Amino acid sequence: MEYLLVHFIGSSGSRRVKIDGNFNGRTEVLIQLQAGTYTVTLGPPANFTPLETTVELKDTAELAPLEVTFAKLP
């Protein structure tokens, strides 16, 4: 099992996380996935950057997840 942690800076609330087009968790909550390559984005509204990012989950741990950060647009 691999671990992903998605951040959304510039916002006080959490957002839903989409992985390969499907909702799978929320920001600031550890997400468990099988090893592999995934496209990660946030749920609507699309007021963040980057719009999506591709990550390779490999060799992560619960205490050392891969971290992805999205920033709220002004």
pLDDT in tens, the chain (74 residues): 999 999 999 988 899 999 999 999 999 999 999 999 999 999 999 999 999 999 999 999 999 999 999 999 98
**Cβ(18)–Cβ(42) below 8 Å:** yes
**Cβ(5)–Cβ(68) below 8 Å:** yes
Q: What pLDDT is stored for residue 9 in this prediction?
A: 96
Q: What pLDDT is stored for residue 12 in this prediction?
A: 81
pTM of the model: 0.95
Q: What pLDDT is stored for residue 11 in this prediction?
A: 82
